[in-house]
Amino acid sequence: MQNNLTSRELKNTEQVLKAVGDSVGQSEIENIDPQTFADMLLRQVRANMVMRETVAEVNTSLVGSAGSTIDYREIGAIDTSDVESKTEFEETTDRNLEFPAVRVEVDTKQVQVPISDESMEDANLDVADVVSQEIGTALAQKNDDDAYSLVTDEDYVLDDNKYDGDETLGDNAEERELLSDGELTFEDIAGLAGDMRQNDVPVDSLIISEDLAHQLVTQDVFHLANERGDTSGRLEGNIGRILGLDVYVTSRAESRSTSADGAIQAVMLASDRAFVEAVKRQPRMEVKREVQQGYNRIVGTFRYGHEIYDAEAIGYLKNSSS
């Protein structure tokens, strides 16, 4: 999918290319097509997102249109048991059915990355690729951070279009204490997955930090997605499966804690319903001149929002509370 730019955004991207070229003494970078540069950024953002792989739906219908909110209708909202005949079912329309929904508000997320001369000293590196990777990774991490913070905020007040009163995520999410604080075991994961599946919640994803991942991959029942074969460590993202769950590692996840602090050590999701994302504007770049400091700063922006869709589709493995 192309990151289509408006004429103003094309101009901003051209200015980014020029500023980068001037900074590293490579004027030929100005000859790179701005649209190609924008697509490079979009690919980098997508390649570095982890939480996006667990989102129920990404709605981009707001892109290029007015407004900053969108309603998501409930999965399975049409109940055929309430319809007496096939003909009546086929004639049923959105207008005469009520759909519980959640409303997603979107706003602009911004990261600022100084033009890094040091990272571009190697003449074998493609300058545009380095810049798009630097900004793309930062924007992706921001998106991951926002999504992870949402699904782990037990005090988050759920959307009143679907939930009553001041219900919070913690009121509805399933939770289970670890058998030993800071130790993630097969028994812990099996216990929470079993509890949620018995309640007809088809959990399929587990989100953990890298330090907890090192515990998990040593267990015989864990099936690795791949092994890198070097000493640089595992990539973020899907690292394997256990008990029918895809296991995701993200640097945004809460780090391991061995204290009786009630900290969330792992998040379990039914990824077809837990939370959703609405995108108003795809990633963009522009130059911000730092006059007093005497250098340019590239500003990456990405306009989106997340919302809890089904709080019961989220579960926590937590340390005990003292």
CA distances from 166 to 80, 121, 125 (A): 31, 54, 53
Q: Are residues 139 and 284 in the same domain?
A: yes
Q: Are residues 20 and 141 in the same domain?
A: yes
pLDDT band at residue 219 under the 50/70/90 scheme: confident
pLDDT band at residue 19 under the 50/70/90 scheme: confident
Note whether 212 and 218 are within 8 A (CB): no
Question: Residues 254, 260, 264, CA angle at the centre, nearest 5°?
Answer: 25
Which residue segment(s) compose the domain that 314 sits in? Answer: 173-275+310-318
Q: Is residue 57 part of a domain?
A: yes
What percentage of the chain exceeds 90 in pLDDT?
37
Q: Are residues 102 and 182 in the same domain?
A: no
Encode 5-43: b = buried (16+ Cβ within 10 Å), e = exposed.
beeebbebbbbbbebbbebbeeeebeebebeebbbbbbb
Q: Are residues 146 and 287 in the same domain?
A: yes
Q: Is residue 177 part of a domain?
A: yes
Q: Is residue 121 part of a domain?
A: yes
Q: How many CB atoms lie within 10 A of CB 126?
A: 13
Q: Are residues 14 and 141 in the same domain?
A: yes
The predicted model gives 136-162 an average pLDDT of 92
With a cut of 60, say whether residue 124 has pLDDT above it: no
Instruction: Give, as one character, the DSSP assignment of residue 120.
Output: G
Q: Are residues 148 and 205 in the same domain?
A: no
Q: Is residue 83 part of a domain?
A: no
Q: Are residues 224 and 290 in the same domain?
A: no
With a cut of 90, say whether residue 41 has pLDDT above it: no
Mean pLDDT of the chain: 79
What is the structure's pLDDT at 84? 47
**C-alpha–C-alpha distance, residues 236 and 176, integer Å:** 25
Long-range Cβ contacts of 23-31 (<8 Å, 24+ apart)? 23/115, 23/117, 23/295, 23/296, 24/115, 24/117, 24/120, 24/127, 26/127, 29/127, 29/128
Q: Is residue 288 part of a domain?
A: yes
Q: Are residues 179 and 255 in the same domain?
A: yes
Positive or negative CA dihedral for 314, 315, 316, 322?
Answer: positive
**C-alpha–C-alpha distance, residues 168 and 238, integer Å:** 29
Q: Are residues 267 and 302 in the same domain?
A: no
Cα 165 to the chain's mean position, in Å? 28
With a cut of 50, say whether residue 110 has pLDDT above it: yes
Residue 210 is encoded by which pair of tokens? 């890298």
With a cut of 90, say whether residue 271 has pLDDT above it: yes
What would the pLDDT profile of 276-308 be if each residue is shown by its tens digit? 999 988 888 887 766 555 556 778 889 999 999
Q: Is residue 110 part of a domain?
A: yes
CATH number at residue 232: 3.30.2320.10
Q: Which of 116-120, 224-228, 271-275 has the lowest mean pLDDT?
A: 116-120
Q: Are residues 147 and 65 in the same domain?
A: yes
* Residue in this structure with the two tokens 């509370």, named with its chain if needed: 321
| More confident site: 71 or 60 | 60
Question: Residues 180, 185, 188, CA angle at the centre, nearest 5°?
Answer: 75
Q: Are residues 190 and 116 in the same domain?
A: no
**C-alpha–C-alpha distance, residues 72 and 105, integer Å:** 11
Give the number of domains in the chain: 2
**C-alpha–C-alpha distance, residues 49 and 296, integer Å:** 26
Q: Is residue 159 part of a domain?
A: no
Q: Which residues are paired to 240 by β-bridges?
A: 224, 247
Find, among 50, 46, 320, the residue nearest to 208 by Cα: 50
For residue 168, is it left (φ>0), alpha (ψ between -120 and 50) or beta? beta
298-300-301-302 Cα dihedral, nearest 10 degrees:
170
With a cut of 70, say whether residue 252 has pLDDT above it: yes
